[in-house]
Amino acid sequence: MTQRTLKHGSVVWYNITDFSPDDLKFLKSNFKFHPLDLKDCAGEPQRSKIDVYKNYVFIVLQLPDYQPDGVHVEASQFYIFLSKDYIVTITKGKFKFLNNFYYKVVNNLHAREHIFGQGSEYLLYRILDYVLRQRWKALFNLDDHIRRIELEIDEGQGKRAVLETAALRRTILQFKSILDPQRLVINTLSKLSVSFISKDSEIYFDDIDDYVDKVWFALESYRDRVISLQEINESLISYRTNKIMTLLTVFSVALLPLTFLTGLYGMNIDLPLGDRPVFVWSIFGLLAAMITIIIYTLRRKDWI
């Protein structure tokens, strides 16, 4: 059981990490939360959602955890209970950014007085603002990946670009699957009308809503850029393949007359002028010269 309690004035923040059965007993003993909400905290990962009750609001958020390989995205669960006089935050593991904010408030009396003095809803705003901005900041690293793919396409590394583009599209889809329900939660929170949340706090939650929309539009932009790069790369690969096929076809057709003559005069039969090597070699030379001229002409016109 890892539980930290921070109180200032009439507002209390219960910060629970590494959620355990003992923490579940603590919640059941000290709060009148709905059993289904407690079940969500102790059960399997949930999609982002918000449940509104008479005396409290229950929020579940999935937050992206961008892995070091730069390809995979995992989701961390973040549970919040908000009431008039308290906030309960719950995580099932070490939550670096939340802990950083907690100790920042603990060690700064002025910040604690300012944040707690404006009520539990303002404390929630500051928690969400800090955590969401820190967690979604990793998203903007995708711009570097997109630029690297653009450079690889310019350098003709089509095969490598195909693999990296596919991986990047998968990463963007993972980000979107986490953000999509989160948008609805934050938007609902910004328009929430309950007795224990003051109207003055709407502007703060609107600020978070604007930030989440900014992240969403950035994802949409990245997705469109990646799709465009994929189409460009496929077109270039197709163009190079067609050029190679055209070149091979030209050489194959060009060699047919020489192959035919070689096979013809190689047979053990009497052929016209077959006893005159100069004539035969002249025919071969003439055909070779014609083939060379045709290939040169096609090459100058950039047809092959």
Claim to verify: residue 102 and residue 208 sit in the same structural domain:
yes
CB atoms within 10 A of CB 304: 15
* Domain closes at, from 238, 260, 291: 238
Give me the pLDDT at residue 167, please.
83
Claim to verify: residue 36 and residue 116 sit in the same structural domain:
yes
Claim to verify: residue 107 and residue 187 sit in the same structural domain:
yes
Q: Are strands 11-17 and 73-82 parallel, antiparallel or unpaired?
A: unpaired
Claim to verify: residue 197 and residue 52 sit in the same structural domain:
yes
Q: Which of 127, 160, 142, 170 is nearest to 11 (CA)?
A: 127
* Domain closes at, from 238, 263, 290: 238
pTM for this predicted structure? 0.76
Beta-bridge mates of residue 63: 76
Q: Roughly how many angstroms between the first and final C-alpha of the chain, as a whole number?
A: 73
Helix axes 120-136, 202-265, angle to 10 degrees: 20
Q: For residues 44 and 52, is the Cβ–Cβ distance under 8 A? A: no
Q: For residues 104 and 111, is the Cβ–Cβ distance under 8 A? A: yes
Tokens 């045709």 map to which residue? 294
Q: Number of folded domains in the chain?
A: 2
Domain with residue 106: its CATH number is 3.30.460.20
49-52: strand order across its sheet = 2-8, 11-17, 86-91, 73-82, 57-66, 49-52
For the chain, how long is the longest CA-to-CA vector? Answer: 117
Beta-bridge mates of residue 13: 6, 87
Q: For residues 187 and 209, is the Cβ–Cβ distance under 8 A? A: yes
Q: Is 272 helix (H, G, I), strand (E, B) or coil?
A: coil
CA distances, 32 to each of 29, 36, 37, 58, 232 (Å): 8, 12, 10, 12, 58
* Domain closes at, from 184, 217, 238: 238
Segment (H or E) for 59: strand 57-66
Claim to verify: residue 272 and residue 229 sit in the same structural domain:
no
pLDDT tens, per residue, the chain with 304 residues: 578 899 988 899 999 988 888 999 999 999 999 999 999 998 888 889 999 998 999 999 998 887 656 567 788 899 999 999 999 999 987 778 888 888 889 888 898 898 998 889 999 999 999 999 888 887 877 888 888 888 887 777 777 778 888 888 888 888 888 899 999 999 998 888 887 788 788 899 999 999 999 999 988 998 898 888 888 888 877 877 777 787 777 777 777 777 777 766 666 666 665 566 676 677 778 777 877 887 777 677 666 6
Structure tokens at 244: 């190679």
Query: How far apart are alpha carbons 157 and 143 in whole angstroms?
Result: 19
Range of the domain at 211: 2-238
Segment (H or E) for 1: none
Q: Is 78 helix (H, G, I), strand (E, B) or coil?
A: strand
Instruction: Report which DSSP code applies to 139.
Output: G
